[in-house]
Amino acid sequence: MSLIHTTVLSRQQKESVRALIEACRKAEPITLSAPSEDGLDYFLIYENAPEDDRLTAFSFLFFVPQEDAAPASVYTCEYTAFVHPARRRQGYFTEMLNAALAAADRFEKEHRCQVDFCFLTDEKSPDASAVLNAIGAEYWYSEYKLVRTLRENDKEYTAEVQIAKADVASGLYTASLDGEIIGTCALLPSGNETYLYAFQIKEACRSQGHGRDFLKGMLSLIAKDSAGRSGASVSVQVSGLNYIARNLYKKTGFRETESLSYYIY
């Protein structure tokens, strides 16, 4: 067993990950996918060395600041794992999980913050449900993934709010009105898909059309950056209980593609 921890996937590794996920999808009707951009924590296990052997297991960590906490004080560590159907119940998941927990612990110490470790899973996987039950993970909540293909006319939209990039490293953007910041969101590009997350509008400024304006403004910005790329899309994840946000995304052309569940560990 050879475990690799990296923050940058090579082209060969990306191809191996795609093949592994495809094998998992053939065994179970899951729709979970995996990112491939630099900067995330990736864990890969090859059954034998060297690395060009078949990829047996893969997982990744994604640290997200919690919106209702003080700046950078509490993060949610989202963890997702894939193990080849023919190699399950052989210790691969445990090996990766231990490495991921150690990485989350280092992140917590380096950033002097609290990290809530959670699993992101597809309820269509009986094996995943069995593992989470066995290790005592507790159900937290469910989310939906919604996707929207970018259109040529998206680039023509001009937002009433002023959109500015606040932080290059994290991909954070702000929306301002009359010089006051009223909203934020962040972007995480992954191949031909851009993940839009942490989208929020100040409570006092809600129900006035600013959220829709900000969202359409972000779609315009992403469309301009994606010019020339066929099939570019934007994805979001929204809580099943957040009916207002789900309605906003659907009215802006997003469609539901995945149902995801979170379990606290």
Domain positions in the chain: 2-136, 146-258
Instruction: Label residue 228 by pLDDT band (50, 70, 90).
Output: low
74-83 and 233-239 beta bridge pairing: unpaired
Q: What is the pLDDT of residue 69?
A: 54
Above 70 in pLDDT, residue 68? Answer: no
106 backbone φψ class: left, alpha, beta (φ>0; ψ -120 to 50): alpha
Q: What is the pLDDT of residue 71?
A: 61
Q: What one-letter code names the amino acid at 152?
A: E
CATH C-level class of 2-136: alpha beta
Instruction: Label residue 236 by pLDDT band (50, 70, 90).
Output: very high
Query: What's the chain's average pLDDT?
Result: 90
Above 80 in pLDDT, residue 61? Answer: yes
Instruction: Give the separation between CA 162 and CA 45, rounded to whole angstroms.
Output: 45
Above 60 in pLDDT, residue 252? Answer: yes
Q: What is the pLDDT of residue 143?
A: 86
Instruction: Give the separation between CA 106 and CA 112, rounded to whole angstroms.
Output: 10
Intrachain domains 2-136 and 146-258 with the same fold: yes
Q: What is the pLDDT of residue 70?
A: 58
pLDDT tens by residue, 108-157: 999 899 999 999 998 888 999 999 999 999 999 888 889 999 999 999 99
Instruction: Give the separation between CA 19 and CA 21, rounded to whole angstroms.
Output: 6
Choosing among 3.40.50.11890, 3.40.630.30, 3.30.420.60, 3.10.20.30, the CATH entry for 146-258 is 3.40.630.30
162-182: average pLDDT: 90
Stretch among 50-54, 172-176, 195-199 having the lowest mean pLDDT: 50-54
Here the tokens at position 133 are 């039950």
Above 90 in pLDDT, residue 79? Answer: yes
Instruction: Give the separation between CA 111 and CA 104, rounded to whole angstroms.
Output: 11
Q: What is the pLDDT of residue 67?
A: 64
